[in-house]
Homo-oligomer: A and B are copies of this chain.
Amino acid sequence: MKHIINEKNSAVKAMLSAYHFEHQDRLAIDTQHNIIYQKDVSGVSLISGGGSGHEPAHFGYVGEGMLSASVSGDLFTPPFPDAILRAIERTDTGAGALLIVKNFASDVEVFTEAKRLAKQKGHHVEMVIVSDDVSVDNKETYSKRKRGVAGTVLIYKILGYFKQHGLSLSELCTIADDLMPHLFTLGVALSSAALPETDPFFSLASNEVYFGVGIHGEKGYRKEPFQSSEQLAIELYNKLKHLHRFKPGEQYAFLINGLGATPLLEQYVFSHDIKRLAHLDKITIDFIKTGTQLSSYNMHGISLSCLKITDPRFKEALRMPVAASHW
């Protein structure tokens, strides 16, 4: 596997420098701490981040109407607490900061520590943990994994909208609490991610797919031979349908997310299959978005996120244009 980088250790800083150079009219960079942040923050600061290798997450979502700042760790490695603390210090205008964290133990740990440090310094900080992944492990227990994956981007968008409309830190937490029980994601891989200087995380036969994979090379719950986009769509859709208990007339938002090396044509073919399944169930698609939004480096695969629209403002929040480059 070839990777268009120079040195593994310099890749993240080079990427952030290039991204900032393109968007320097509206974004600032803290090169030491790998922070991309808005030049003009108003209201509550929304901060997210995590390991790199998930581009365009997270820096691609920094901008008016979405995130105030992103903090990047190394490839598949969380940032350090002091970097997150710096992001809070750089963007807290007095209205406080909300940390949006994907539910991985190591991410939760560093963000929790950063929150503690920031509170010591007098910042109002809250944390919401996204655990949209409904994959299960492949043992007899079928325990839920509850990782935070692509659905997180929908959370950015909706909270970003409400933050822009002046909601307070505690009001944003309430919105987040309303959203979380209704957001589910499930992914499938056609190949493993392979990071520079690292072997692929799992192997698949040339005709196999792997349902329920994570975004850091975590294994899925079942391998089976690939047949068609529709086969993948039915598996992912039906799992989410079962959890949501779809009823005709209910309103949903869908995110079809390429996992890194998936051609856009394939993402849209899959999106078409999802649309047809939703129509069969007579649910209303309030919002649908297809694209590479939260990737797993160079994985060929796709994930489906589904959010029940329990408040008409959520639909408006998802549809409103934003300044972020990659929404």
Interface residues of A (CB under 8 A from B): 1-6, 11-12, 14-19, 21-22, 52-53, 55-56, 60, 190-191, 206-207, 209, 226, 228-230, 232, 260-273, 275, 285, 288-290, 292, 295, 297-298, 300, 302
State A264–B294 Cα separation when bound (angstroms): 11
Please tell me if the beta carbons of A4 and B272 are within 8 angstroms of each other in the complex. no
CB distance from A174 to the nearest CB of B (A): 30
CB distance from A32 to the nearest CB of B (A): 17
State A6–B268 Cα separation when bound (angstroms): 12
Please tell me if the beta carbons of A22 and B288 are within 8 angstroms of each other in the complex. yes
Please tell me if the beta carbons of A261 and B264 are within 8 angstroms of each other in the complex. no
Extra pairs beyond A15-B268, A21-B272 (18, CB < 8 Å): A2-B191, A4-B229, A4-B270, A5-B269, A11-B269, A14-B268, A14-B272, A18-B275, A18-B290, A22-B289, A53-B263, A55-B268, A260-B261, A261-B262, A261-B300, A263-B295, A265-B297, A298-B300
Please tell me if the beta carbons of A55 and B288 are within 8 angstroms of each other in the complex. no
Query: Which one of A206, A209, A267 has the greatest number of beta carbons of chain B within 10 Å?
Result: A267
Known: A2-B207, A14-B272, A18-B290. Contact between A265 and B53, CB under 8 A? yes
Please tell me if the beta carbons of A228 and B269 are within 8 angstroms of each other in the complex. no
Known: A15-B268, A290-B18. Contact between A4 and B53, CB under 8 A? no
Please tell me if the beta carbons of B232 and A269 are within 8 angstroms of each other in the complex. no
In the complex, the count of this chain's copies comes to: 2
Please tell me if the beta carbons of B18 and A52 are within 8 angstroms of each other in the complex. no
Of all chain B residues, the one with the shortest Cβ separation from A325 is B291
State which of B209, B230, B264, B271 has its C-beta within 8 Å of the C-beta of A56. B264
CB distance from A105 to the nearest CB of B (A): 24
Of all chain B residues, the one with the shortest Cβ separation from A21 is B275
Please tell me if the beta carbons of A15 and B56 are within 8 angstroms of each other in the complex. no
Residue numbers in B under 8 Å from A264 (CB-CB): 55-56, 60, 292, 295
State which of B15, B22, B206, B207 has its C-beta within 8 Å of the C-beta of A269. B15
Of all chain B residues, the one with the shortest Cβ separation from A13 is B272
Known: A4-B302, A229-B6, A269-B11. Contact between A55 and B18, CB under 8 A? no
Please tell me if the beta carbons of A290 and B22 are within 8 angstroms of each other in the complex. yes
State which of B14, B228, B297 has its C-beta within 8 Å of the C-beta of A5. B228
Residue numbers in B under 8 Å from A52 (CB-CB): 265
Please tell me if the beta carbons of A18 and B268 are within 8 angstroms of each other in the complex. yes
Please tell me if the beta carbons of B269 and A55 are within 8 angstroms of each other in the complex. no
CB distance from A122 to the nearest CB of B (A): 36
Please tell me if the beta carbons of B190 and A4 are within 8 angstroms of each other in the complex. yes
Query: Which one of A18, A266, A292, A297 has the greatest number of beta carbons of chain B within 10 Å?
Result: A18
State A257–B82 Cα separation when bound (angstroms): 35
